[in-house]
Structure 1
Amino acid sequence: MVTHVSLEAHDDERGALIAFLEAERGGIRRALIGLTAEQAASRPSASELSLAGLLKHVAEVEQGWIARAKGEPTAVQRDESNWHECFVLVGDETVEGQLAYWEKVAAETEAFIRSAPSLDETFLLPEAPWFPPEGRVSIRWVALHLIRETARHAGHADIIRESLDGATAFELVAREQAG
């Protein structure tokens, strides 16, 4: 797991974007260290969010944005009938399975960002009330959006983890580094 932004990764803009995204992913993964499945699925605050649900959500969102940027369908189709399943593990889903899935998604994201002819290339936004009709965004925009989305949820993960057992991000980094 990455616990910091590697200076070596800043060899160019693409490397910097990927490194910052990976650092934010690490915040969510770290929040899960040492938890049972029940703890990861619990909701210890007034929010409906759990660490397992945040993990699933960020992986699905990342996959969805990269699929859109590539002009491909998203792996999971969400609408009003199943939107709530984006934030909870269902059926035989596990934290370990979601971590493995996210690792695959992260590799696909990095490959896409590195292979794009230009970060200025654009793609059509999905139809949604919060996007302009026929709106377009760049690959750079989607990379920055994923950093922002993941960072927001890494903050949620910090709060949830601290509510579960008092562990802070600093303590979790120290645990991770200790092995």
Structure 2
Amino acid sequence: MVTHVRAEAQGDERGALLSFLAEERGGIRRAVLGLTEEQATSRPSASELSLAGLLKHVAEVEQGWVARAKGEPPAVHRDETNWNECFQLVGDETVGSQLAYWEKVTAETEAFIRTVPSLDDTFPLPDQPWFPPEGRVSMRWLVLHLIRETARHAGHADIIRESLDGATAFELVAKEQGTSWG
């Protein structure tokens, strides 16, 4: 759902990119607004996706990409044996704990992007068959990739939320702002 990007997007390129990323993050956060844990972890369609799972996934993906750009390992290692766990809450994980984790990740992302010497600086892509061999991408690419990834999942979240209780993205924006819609 499109909302108005913060005014600082009118400034420098970093501010604009981070503002667009923040806008898409908001769509996912709003999708879990007012839901119980049971609702957030439910799968109301034929898909395996739940809102809680999407929330966890976008947090892990963002953290992993920023860690890669910094030359660090991701906080959570996923491979074919535990890949599905990035789309579901396990153990004592809750929607609240995932929101808190994502808030920490987003602060680290924003601090990193604001302090990297240049958006033209590059880092290597992973050695995986779906990436070009010995490929490198820029910090600008990183933020654009995070915007794309988050926006895709925000759209999934809109559909899942509406399937759960009929709440639309516009209604959730109004609810978040304490106003009424319609």
Please, what TM-score do these two structures have when normalized by structure 1?
0.97
Q: Is the 8 A contact 1:10 1:19 kept in 2?
A: no
8 Å CA contact 1:27, 1:154 repeated in 2: yes
Structure 2: 5+ residue stretches without partners: none
Opposite residue 142 of structure 2, the aligned amino acid is V
* 1:94 Cα deviation from its structure 2 partner: 0.6
CA distance in 1, matches of 2:41, 2:13: 36
Please give the alpha-carbon distance, in whole angstroms, between the structure 2 residues aligned to 1:10 and 1:149.
23
2:28, 2:154 within 8 Å by CA — same for their partners in 1? yes
Please state how far the C-alpha of 1:169 moved relative to its aligned partner.
0.2
Number of matched pairs: 177
Match status 1:8 vs 2:8? yes
User: Match for residue 112 of structure 1?
Assistant: 112
Q: Deviations over 1:70-129 (max 9, x none)?
A: 000100000000000000000000100000000000000000100010000000001111
1:28 aligns with 2:28: yes
Structure 1: unaligned runs, 5 residues or longer: none
Counterpart of 1:44? 44
Contact 2:51/2:157 (8 A) holds in 1: yes
Q: Distance in 2 between matches of 1:175 and 1:114?
A: 31
Which 4+ runs in 1 deviate beyond 2 A? none
Shift in Å at residue 4 of structure 1? 3.5
In structure 1, the partner of 2:157 is 157
Contact map agreement 2:30 2:173 (CA 8 A) in 1: yes
One-letter amino acid matched to 1:136:
R
Question: Identity rate of aligned residues, in percent?
Answer: 81
**Structure 1 residue 10: Cα displacement:** 2.9
Preserved contact between residue 37 and residue 94 of structure 1 (Cα < 8 Å): yes
Report the RMSD for the aligned CA atoms in angstroms. 0.9
